Amino acid sequence: MSMSATLQDCLRNKGSRYEIVHHPYSHSSVETAAAAHIPGDRLVKTVLLEDEHGYVAAVLPSTYAVRLSELWAQTGRRLVLAKEVDLRELFKDCDAGALPPVCAAYGMPTFLDESLARQPDVYFEAGDHEELIHMDTDQFLDLMDQAERARFARRMQGMPM
């Protein structure tokens, strides 16, 4: 699989400037950062959460973890991790585990952790396990203009920057 059609449409509609970075197949964000030779703080990951009202996406650096209590406080919802089977159904044009951060385009509210705005540039999954999108942070924030910016993540201990 290559770049998701949904992501491609978003990039085109926003007139985003970006480059595609190819890397060896990887299974996790830590592996992806190493394979692509990029800092983990600049690699964006997307975590899908759910409750009885539906799905919510949390977008944060790969070296960070979602603080569910922070999102519960900000949303008033008791969100939990979504099931893997649901991811496949919701993101049909993406490989499992390679979700791009443009979740508003998939019809779900999205929260963007403020720590990403402090990076000079970012990388994120294109929808498969061998390509990343690389863009300046300003371009990324423009692409993610429908996401609500918040503080809900913390750096995981022992993670390389």
Least confident of 65-69, 94-98, 108-112, 113-117: 94-98
Topology, domain 5-155: YbaK protein (3.90.960)
Alpha-carbon gap, residue 50 to 133, rounded angstroms: 26
pLDDT of residue 62: 95
Q: 69-78 pLDDT, tens per residue?
A: 999 999 999 9
pLDDT of residue 84: 83
Residue 147 has pLDDT above 60, yes or no: yes
**Percentage of residues in the chain having pLDDT higher than 70:** 98
pLDDT of residue 87: 84
Least confident of 9-23, 83-97, 101-115: 83-97
50, 79 contact by CB (below 8 A): yes
DSSP for residue 3:
S
pLDDT band with cut points at 50, 70 and 90 for residue 30: confident
pTM metric for this prediction: 0.94
